[in-house]
Amino acid sequence: MAHSTAEANVTSTQTQDTLPDEYVQLISAVRDFARQSVAPVSAAHDAAHTFPYGLVEGMADMGLFGLPFPEEYGGMGGNYFALCLALEELAKVDQSVAITLEAAVSLGAMPVFHFGTEEQKQQWLPDLTAGRKLAAFGLTEPDAGTDASGTRTTAVRAGEEWVINGSKQFITNSGTLITSLITVTAVTGIKDNGRKAISSFLVPAGTAGLTVESAYNKVGWNASDTHPLSLVDVHLPRENLLGTEGSGYSQFLRILDEGRIAIAAIGVGAAQGCVNESVTYAKQRSAFGKPIGENQAISFKIARMQVRAHVARTAYYDAAARMLAGKPFKTQASIAKLVASEAAMDNARDATQIFGGYGFMNEYSVARHYRDSKILEIGEGTSEVQLMLIARGFGL
């Protein structure tokens, strides 16, 4: 997907069927892949808690891991909005697959692309943009999630090396067979204002002292790879510092601002997927001699679900358009993430109610959306954090 003027011309007033042709073609291709390849195996991967290597290979073949990266690094020459459109289509049928792509691109490869040296980019990006390898982002710790000042992982200079000690948790894509890299944040000193100086480091998978602990037993996203990590005397060459020393805090703020738009796209996909499934079911399921969709209690519920999905989509389109235009988008990204995650959760609850007893069975996608969607209100900044950031936009 080569970059073009049409691709950059995205406004919040557009909908999927009014986008430039390049985007429409991408949506169609990913939608077909989601329906034909992802949907048939989603329930099985969810039940077995297995990572979908075959689907990752399929996404790699389509170039999805390289969507927002320049061709010189093996990318498709598109942009971040293209990634979001792909995430929305995938999330309609399987949030685990969508978050695998989102974390690999937004959290995994983007730090290298934004902040890496040319040598680091040439070393890591070709495999990551091709989907041959995956990268992870090691930020969260047991005492440091929203509050980065709680970071306890340390990196100390030792001659020509850095020595890292600490632990990370909830790290997506950190333990797969194709994980090649984990970006880890660590305290490297104290600033003049007394705050911790946080830096970022590229830790290759398999480095001595890096231990990928047992996978979590999660409520949802069961086909997504998520582990805690421990780092004990991990020795890295000095050139594995990402960007300048002490810039890690500002780096991950930028990554999270962008990532919230991507998470919003996943939320919209989940919300729309619940609408689509509910419409189909309401037309097919009969009670008291007629399809249940003919009852206003059902039809009005689905109408409200569609309103939520549409409003949330408009919000993430707006945030993405601002980002592509080089305008401030932090507040709009938080709005999109908040609205979309709530839409996903509310629609999943309503869809489960429409499906009745079937909605409680995990082989139905609405049941999986009910379990999967809650983390959208937590990951990459809780709903409370989004409200705080939105209020700050008003100077409050």
State the virtual CA torsion across 180, 266, 144, 214 in degrees, nearest 10.
Answer: -50
- Which of the following is catalytic: 89, 258, 342, 380? 380
380 part of the active site: yes
CATH 2.40.110.10 fits 136-245, yes or no: yes
Q: What is the distance between the alpha carbons of residues 77 and 80, in angstroms, rounded to a whole number?
A: 10
- Pair 103, 172: CB distance under 8 Å: yes
Distance CA 309, CA 344 (A): 8
DSSP code per residue over 93-115: H-HHHHHHHHIIIIIIIHHHHHH
Predicted confidence at residue 9, as pLDDT, reads 63
pLDDT along the chain (396 residues), means of 10: 46 74 96 98 97 98 98 96 98 98 98 97 98 96 82 95 97 98 96 92 98 97 98 98 94 94 98 98 95 96 98 98 96 98 98 96 96 96 95 92
CATH (residue range 250-392): 1.20.140.10
CA 244 to CA 46: how far, in whole Å?
41
The 10 Å Cβ neighbour count of residue 92 is 28
DSSP E strands in 238-322: the ranges are: 241-242, 286-287, 290-291
Residue 50, SS3?
coil
* Region 5-126: CATH code: 1.10.540.10
- The predicted structure's pLDDT at residue 18: 83
> How much is the pLDDT for 149?
76
pTM value is 0.95
Q: Where along the chain do the CATH 2.40.110.10 domains lie?
A: 136-245
Where along the chain do the CATH 1.20.140.10 domains lie?
A: 250-392
Return the pLDDT at 328.
95
Query: Six-digit token pair at 189?
Result: 């000193």
Angstrom distance (rounded) from CA 81 to CA 10: 9
